[in-house]
Chain A
Amino acid sequence: MENFEPEIIAFCCHYCAYTAADMAGSKRLSYPTNVKIIRVPCTGKVDALHIMSAFEKGADGVYVAGCLEGDCHFKNGNTRAAQRVAHVQKILQDLGWDTQRLAMMNMSAGMGEVFARTACEFTEKIKQLGPSPVKQMNTDSYRQTQR
């Protein structure tokens, strides 16, 4: 697994984490290219189905990054997101996956450093966990299904 470069999807709230990611960029704070962002208006919009879909399509890790607790632009979307993340973690556990492949994070718009740091840390963790179980088992058939 020396050269394993995980695919990581980050669902980021427009009001905080997405802005924090822009902030990280404007401060030229580096983080791994593995992390790719999908912008959502609020993490409360992130459906369990989206997270599952990301894993199905080959994501090795997924995280949902919303506003700090109590700071949600829409009152409680971020806490709803955290509940859903926990629910999907339970599903992953039933499937025999490491639940650390999915995480909920909180940061404010000004926290460019936090965005960069958590992106690094999460990528590092996924690297340790190795490729997603769907890829580990049988890469050939995985390729086939993705076609």
Chain B
Amino acid sequence: MTNTNCNEMTQKYYRVDRMPHIWCPGCGHGTLMNTVVRAIDKVGLNKDDVVVVSGIGCSSRAPGYMDFNTLHTTHGRALAFATGIKMANPKLHVIVIMGDGDSSAIGGNHLIHAARRNIDITTIVFNNNIYGMTGGQFSPTTPYGDFATTAPFGNIDKAFDLCSLAQGAGATYVGRGTAYHAPLMQKLIEKGLENKGFSFIEGLSLCPTYYGRKNKKGNAFKMHSYFKDNCVDIKVVEKNPEKGENKILIGEFYNSPKTEYTEGYQVIIDKFQK
């Protein structure tokens, strides 16, 4: 795992003239964005062939800072735009970055259908358990009982397990990392990029500004420490199930390649083209 050195990476993959970024101090999104860039570098993709698509929200500002073909779409619809791009030109490596509300509330329908088709899109969700851009409303991944500006008396919605959702819908590669476990996150994205099909990688992020403050989680350091102390790799749990009790599972959950959608369509073209 030898990545290009840090300064070279910055110059090569970031639009440094777009900095500084808009994220709050302590936000986990910058770290997660960096794992995406490092994974692209490690896999060795040509920048001209990479398209990064996002929806709306804090996470969705990431593509603007990344020096690829980048598309900042409408709220929830990133996967639908990305599907059109991949269909039109299957040679492109299409990466989608979404937030938790973006991907599973307003965009939930597109998530399950992109997964079902197994279209070759690497989807990375920066999950900070809150709507940050609009100031701290609960999302479909806000834990039950937690507080948000629209759950002032505690959240009575049950939270999605995004990885289970994506796997159940048909994603052929599924994993979860965190902003603290950046090397793992990078590795999962690398494998997602290499999977010819729909890959879903959840990156647990942290929002000290809204979610953290509302729920007395402490500063960014404390929130990172929480990930450090409470996440267990699925490989460990598979051997010792008791180690997974009341913990957050991370690691590679599912890796089972199946026929990719645009390849399936190409078979039709090859057979019926006149």
Question: Do A and B bind?
Answer: no
